[in-house]
Amino acid sequence: MASVDTKTAKITRTSLMVGLEIHIELATRTKMFTRVANAAHPDNFDLPPNTLIDPVVCALPGSLPVMNRAAVEMSMKVGLALGCTIPRHSKWDRKNYYYPDLPKGYQISQYDEPLCVDGRVEIPAHAGGTRVIGIIRAHLEEDTGKLGHELPGGGSYAGSLVDLNRAGTPLLEVVTAPDFDHADDVVTFAQELRNICRFLGVTEGIMQKGHMRFEPNINLTLELEDGTQIKTPIVEVKNLNSFRALKGAIEHETIRQVEEWRSSGRVMGRGMKQTRGWDDVTLKTLLQREKEDAHDYRYFPEPDLVPVEVDEAWRASVASGLPELPLARRARYRNDYGMSDVDARTIVDDRDVCFFFERCVGEVNDARVFKDAKTAGYATGKLMLNAGAKRANERGCGVHELGIDAAQIASVLALREQGTIGPQAADTLFGLLCATKDAALAVAESNGLLVVRDEGKLIEWVDAAIAANAQAADDVRAGKMAAMGRLVGAVMRLSGGKAEAGSVTDALKSKLGQ
């Protein structure tokens, strides 16, 4: 290796290897080892600093931890959803290090006997198809506090301000195998895991609040012209809380590590690991410290907590509460409702929208709007994605938060299927129902959205459309039926969406001799 001139050596191939650590704050009502309220629960978001504390959180002498069973069960759910084995026996350990936001001087975690082991997850691959990502382990621990550098009211502060609201929050750390070789696949996995956890109900997954934090471990294999292979030192990028930052950090490191090797010659070896942070402004990673190894933390068994013993009955009870997971839901929507992959993903990617969609499909089926569930699911999805998503984006909310309810959506689809309103009117009616609980038919009638069945009026619109689109009319007369769409569209515009498309087409064909 010493004979390699790193500045001039020709690299013929670069291979990326990434393993991912994900920290998930669990939304239990109380913290991991005490009954004080949990900052990651929706009831406690944005409370003033240092209000979610007690003697255990502050590590006062004589205070002792008590295990939170709900946090253990939430962690088991995640493990089972990731295909992990839940060992019969796991235990707690002390991870020793000093930091101002860690009052005890150690973190209660799990070291050599974690709660979940040996899982696997299948994800869509960036190159097409799917790929399997191994899960080495998922262990439960407590979160630390948080350091800030801003005074109340927004003023800057040169020192560090400690907020212990987050300290003691149940924290599940999922560790993948180094199975990623592309940044896009890492992001896909992170998105899938967030979705899985939200469907399981174990976290709200709000990235800006730190409910999920990603730490990729990144290195490269450089193949030189003479066949020599060189592995760069592993870099762990800490506490990324957006998919954009996760992708950016990996892509930056694929360039920086090559430059680092050329300038320093550093290769993988003992003491060569680095911890780096991510700067969202410069879009670069920044050196924080040389990475500690496990022995630096002086792990030893936690003497104040009993081990976790999971018998088959407990494991089966937790497994019975698992919902249908995102990957399976997308497949069902494609197979059972005929949705495109894009539409299925759009609905499933937001848990609350997905659950609202399921309620709407149920209402449509109960009302027997369509003859089969496949049509009901497809039509419901299209209405939500076309009429709902547009308004949701404008308002910065989910479709389920617009104000329209599942029964009203079923009524809109019934009116559309019966020919009582046209497709444009269905979109308009959807918007009107977001602001009222009145019946869909009454709202459509009071706003002039019902289909006009006046034959004389229809002929008047058809004649006007033909006169305004002479070339399209001539094309249809000549048998070029592709031009019919322009004429139908013209009639629908003239009618304000009140004409029925089938009647319009029939009238145009009659007028134009087709």
* Fold category of 455-511 in CATH: Arc Repressor Mutant, subunit A (1.10.10)
Do the beta carbons of residue 53 and residue 101 sit within 8 Å? no
pTM of the full structure: 0.85
What pLDDT sits at residue 393?
87
Taking only the tens place, the pLDDT of each residue in 134-153 is: 999 999 999 999 998 887 77
Bridge partner residues of 23 (DSSP): 173, 213
Residues 6+ apart with CB under 8 A from 418: none
Using only the alpha carbons of the chain, give its radius of gyration: 30
Do the beta carbons of residue 265 and residue 290 sit within 8 Å? no
DSSP 426-472: HHHHHHHHTT--S-HHHHHHHTT-BPP--HHHHHHHHHHHHHHTHHH
Token match 């322009």: residue?
486
Reported as a pLDDT band with limits 50, 70 and 90, residue 1 is: very low
Reported as a pLDDT band with limits 50, 70 and 90, residue 442 is: very high
Q: Identify the CA nearest to 169 among candidates 46, 304, 68, 309.
A: 68
**Is the pLDDT at 388 greater than 50, yes or no?**
yes
Bridge partner residues of 161 (DSSP): 148
Do the beta carbons of residue 186 and residue 146 sit within 8 Å? no
**Is the pLDDT at 302 greater than 70, yes or no?**
yes
Residue 235: how many other CB atoms lie within 10 Å: 24
**Domain residue spans of the chain:** 11-307, 326-446, 455-511
Residues 6+ apart with CB under 8 A from 440: 408, 411, 412, 414, 415, 429, 433
φ, ψ at 414 (rounded to 5°): -65, -45
φ, ψ at 273 (rounded to 5°): -65, 150
**Is the pLDDT at 425 greater than 90, yes or no?**
no
Token match 């262990």: residue?
139
Distances (CA, A) of 480 to 37, 469, 502: 70, 14, 19
Average pLDDT rounded to a whole number, residues 87-104: 95
Structure tokens at 212: 């999920």
Taking only the tens place, the pLDDT of each residue in 192-222 is: 999 999 999 999 999 999 999 999 999 999 9
Query: Higher model confidence: residue 44 or residue 494?
Result: 44
Taking only the tens place, the pLDDT of each residue in 361-387 is: 999 999 999 999 999 999 999 999 999
Q: What angle do CA 304, 310, 314 make, to 5 degrees?
A: 125
**Is the pLDDT at 115 greater than 50, yes or no?**
yes
What pLDDT sits at residue 509?
81
Reported as a pLDDT band with limits 50, 70 and 90, residue 291 is: low
φ, ψ at 361 (rounded to 5°): -60, -40
Distance, in Å, from the CA atom of 347 to the CA atom of 344, rounded to the nearest integer, reads: 5
